Amino acid sequence: MSIRRLLNRWRLVVAIVAFGIWCAALRASPDAGWPQWGRTPEHQGASSAAGQPLNAILADVPYDPFILAELAEGAGQVNVHYAAPLVQAGAVYIEVKSGSYRACSPPGSGQPAPCGSNGWNLQTWGVQKLVWQDGALAPAWTFQSDWKPEPNSNNALMGWEPVFHPAISGASLFVPGAGGTVFLVDTQSGLARSRVNPFPTMDPSIYVAGGLAADDTGRIYYHAIRLDPADPWGKNVLGSWLIRIDAEGHAVAVPFSSLVAGAPPADAPCELEFSSPLPWPPSASAMPPMSACGSQRPAINVIPAISPDGTIYTVSRAHFNTRYAYLVAVKADLTPLWSASLRDFLDDGCDVGLPPSGMPGGCRTGSPRGVDPATNNRPAGRVWDLSTSSPVVLPDGAILFGAQTTYNYFRGHLFKFSASGEPIGSYDFGWDSTPAVFRHDGTYSVLIKDNHYDLGSYCFDPQYCPPERGRFDLTSLDANLQPEWFFTNRNMESCARQKDGSITCSPNPEGGFEWCVNQPAVDARGVLYATSEDGFLYAIGRDGQVHESIFLDLAIGAAYTPVSIGPEGLIYCENNGHLFVVGLQARPSLSLPPAPGVRPVGFH
């Protein structure tokens, strides 16, 4: 037998075995779906299905008609937090937009007012159900909500559109509405069964803040805040709540003021960063300026996580100050369990995670070791309303949360807390990221994007904080947050899909692309799926190597979007305002996939 025929036969055997493994995994999890952010109440981002090979784009559905204007307003990037595709057997529910978008002329000018991010309320948000028919996705119905995002007054949200995120529980789709309300929409008909209002009246100054989460009993949890209509971010928050809707549609709202113990009062002085000349801190004994904290309230885009014992985990921050933030644990009866500060745990500032003091990128000579150069105090995990990081409950009962820390090249930190609220570990990346979790061999791995940005260490002045060359990784951490492997995106080409389906590429002048996924997905085999700003969807194996990849639509058009896995192993992802469904086929059959690693699709 010739070497070529022998090789072909070997490839056939490998393909048959791979397909058999994939089908076995699929049969073991016929009800696997993706009903909410992170798929499960714990937000672990793990599917019980095996992902299909990334052979083809099986569906391409536009959902944001304003994408070109949003790209222009964002100077080439999409400043929108989109919802995860919610997947059931045979159907997917996606966020859709309508109404109007008033573009600024020129982009970024704010004129004619209100335009761009100051005209968000001119848009209409809704949910569209798509069903598989003859191998294609077809619209079944569209439900339009009256939900509006929190305003971007005085550029408080830096033009980043807050998330509109529904959740599926039972036969109902729960959809955020105006005034802190939630619609219960029938998944079959698309008609609203009812609207749940936890408040005495419809108050347009109350906003659903962040997305909805469902527990295993059918209860729904979310946040609401009430902002001053005239000055939402300059005046103190007028109220904030954690809300639960039970299976009968009854709502209970608990004020955040009753949940966060030990936080400074609203009028208490809280630290700001130095404004004096660089380098920081100004002296070894310098004290930072102070200003009123504001009341504790939920971070804008956080979605609560629920542990198997019913404990709810969420995140709170001071209204005026990102440096006073807490991971909050609430009992199943909505009484407080504990609140853990994100302050005074880290010590990797001056002379630790930074260049030596007195050197470029380092603190002022003689600075105390380990402090944040911006405050001269121990570093704080900062909760910005630009982020979509949400808590993750781990298999051992511990909790993860990613916060920003601007002194470590703006990479943030991933915090790990015990089930009783003690800080037990951290990793020096966590910005705008909800990790996925893969259980294996009696333990688990934490899978996270790990961007090293083209930025200075703690400031934007190149004389004192010269930018480093970027490196953009996906990283697997063990249960102690120690790295197991890194995968670095080395694509140096910027590509775009043309109207005829062809792909054109050119050298990327900036060199390298960030991982834009804000939560990756991991399948039953431990294969990690993530989208990059280069426009590709990647499948990374447990060995930390690319198994497959496929180009979607547009480099830099991906926004910060999550990935979902359907019950058949189809991969649902987003790019350039389009939903893409990637896999071998829309329904499993005896068609033979290519052998893993033999013919990856696209750049790798």
DSSP code per residue over 174-233: EEE-GGG-EEEEETTT--EEEEE--SSS--TTEEEEEEEEE-TTS-EEEEEEE--SS-TT
CB-CB neighbours of 469 under 10 Å? 8
Q: Is the pLDDT confidence value at 598 over 90?
A: no
Report the C-alpha gap between 425 and 412 in whole angstroms.
14
Report the C-alpha gap between 164 and 175 in whole angstroms.
8
Provide the b/e sequence for 190-205 (b: ≥16 CB within 10 Å).
Answer: bebeebbbbbeeebee
Q: Is the pLDDT confidence value at 527 over 70?
A: yes
pLDDT category at 270 given cuts 50, 70, 90 is very high
CB-CB neighbours of 1 under 10 Å? 6
**Secondary structure E strands in 78-181:** 86-88, 91-99, 123-133, 136-144, 167-169, 172-176
pLDDT of residue 247: 85
pLDDT of residue 557: 74
Report the C-alpha gap between 310 and 217 in whole angstroms.
9
> Residue 103 burial by CB count (10 A; 0-12/13-18/19+): exposed, middle or buried?
middle
Whether the CB-CB separation of 73 and 107 falls below 8 Å is answered with yes
Greater pLDDT, 303 or 511: 303
Average pLDDT over residues 447-468: 96
pLDDT of residue 558: 76
Classified by CATH at the fold level, domain 3-274+292-343+380-583 comes out as Methylamine Dehydrogenase; Chain H (2.130.10)
Spans of all domains in the chain: 3-274+292-343+380-583
Average pLDDT over residues 168-192: 97
pLDDT category at 585 given cuts 50, 70, 90 is low
Those residues whose C-beta lies under 8 Å from the C-beta of residue 319, and which sit 6 or more positions away, are 233, 236, 237, 266, 293, 294, 295, 296, 297
Q: Is the pLDDT confidence value at 30 over 90?
A: no
SS3 51: coil
pTM: 0.92
Q: Is the pLDDT confidence value at 394 over 80?
A: yes
pLDDT of residue 31: 57
Q: Is the pLDDT confidence value at 24 over 80?
A: no
Q: Is the pLDDT confidence value at 3 over 50?
A: no
pLDDT of residue 588: 41
pLDDT category at 555 given cuts 50, 70, 90 is confident
Residues in the chain: 604
Report the C-alpha gap between 601 and 583 in whole angstroms.
11
Q: What is the mean pLDDT of the chain?
A: 91
